[in-house]
């Protein structure tokens, strides 16, 4: 298995194998991006040039052939929203409302298409957590991984990756960023992002 962590200025790959209920690290690679992003605004098209070069360099060090690949991207590469659903809304209505909400809050001026992911908590709290990520980023990463012989099985944000550490109890994450802190709370009943 390989975990690819993408950031705005580097790519990290960690390879491990599971044997006898134990995980052991087999390879590690850290590749800083050569280009310095002049803009502080996330641009998937500009970032993909750096990611592609870094992945080609990593391929020289470790084999992706037949490996399951997990990808983590920073939360700031995505737009997210937690939508409160009315009592008479179906889950399908809730998803449509959530997509509409995220598009209203984060108006796209770059003519990009997006993919939407999330999780519904209709039975517990009548909320839906959804994220919107550039299709260019998702599809390009997926194609690059497949071209190197890997099988992309999961892609998510950094904060959602923490949820996997303890999904039955949940987790709270305070992430330091340039403007202070971001707050993420994941549990089996809800997701809060502030």
CB 155 within 8 A of CB 146: no
Specify whether the backbone of 27 is left (phi greater than 0), alpha (psi in -120 to 50) or beta.
beta
Question: What is the SS3 assignment for 152?
Answer: strand
What domains does the chain contain, in order, with CATH numbers? Answer: 2-193 (3.30.420.380)
pLDDT higher at 70 or 119: 70
Strand 151-157 relative to strand 68-73: parallel, antiparallel, unpaired? parallel
Task: Determine if the pTM surpasses 0.85.
Answer: no
- pLDDT, average across residues 106-118: 82
- pLDDT, average across residues 165-185: 77
Cα separation values, 87 from 93, 94, 122, 155, Å:
11, 10, 9, 31
Q: What are phi and psi of 190, to 5 degrees?
A: -165, 165
- Mean pLDDT, the chain, whole residue set: 85
Judged against a pLDDT cut of 50, whether residue 4 lies above it is answered with yes
Predicted pLDDT of residue 37:
55
Predicted pLDDT of residue 38:
47
Judged against a pLDDT cut of 60, whether residue 61 lies above it is answered with yes
Query: Can you read off the two tokens belonging to residue 37?
Result: 């992003």
Predicted pLDDT of residue 40:
54
Percent over 90 (pLDDT), the chain: 38
Q: What element of type H or E holds 18?
A: strand 10-19
- What's the pLDDT band for 42 if we cut at 50, 70, 90? low
Q: How far is CA 154 from the centre of its chain?
A: 9
List the single range of 68-77, 130-139, 161-170 with lowest mean pLDDT. Answer: 161-170
- pLDDT, average across residues 58-80: 91
Q: What element of type H or E holds 105?
A: helix 91-105
Judged against a pLDDT cut of 90, whether residue 179 lies above it is answered with no
Q: What is the DSSP letter of 76?
A: G
Judged against a pLDDT cut of 90, whether residue 178 lies above it is answered with no
């Amino acid at each position: 298995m390989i975990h690819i962590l993408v950031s705005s200025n580097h790519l990290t790959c960690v390879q491990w194998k599971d044997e006898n209920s134990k995980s052991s690290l087999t390879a590690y690679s850290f590749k800083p991006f050569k280009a310095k992003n002049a803009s502080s605004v996330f641009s998937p098209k500009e970032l993909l040039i750096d990611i592609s070069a870094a992945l080609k360099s990593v391929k020289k060090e470790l084999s992706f052939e037949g490996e399951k690949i997990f990808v983590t991207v920073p939360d700031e590469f995505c737009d997210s929203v937690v939508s409160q659903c009315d009592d008479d809304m179906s889950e399908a209505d809730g998803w449509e409302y959530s997509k509409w909400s995220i598009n209203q809050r984060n108006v796209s001026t770059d003519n990009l298409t997006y993919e939407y992911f999330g999780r519904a908590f209709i039975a517990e709290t009548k909320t839906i957590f959804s994220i919107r990520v550039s299709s260019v980023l998702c599809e390009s990463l997926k194609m690059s991984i497949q071209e190197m012989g890997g099988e992309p099985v999961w892609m998510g944000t950094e904060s959602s990756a923490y949820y996997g550490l303890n999904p039955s109890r949940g987790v709270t994450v305070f992430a330091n960023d340039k403007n202070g802190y971001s707050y993420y709370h994941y549990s089996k009943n809800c997701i809060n992002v502030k």
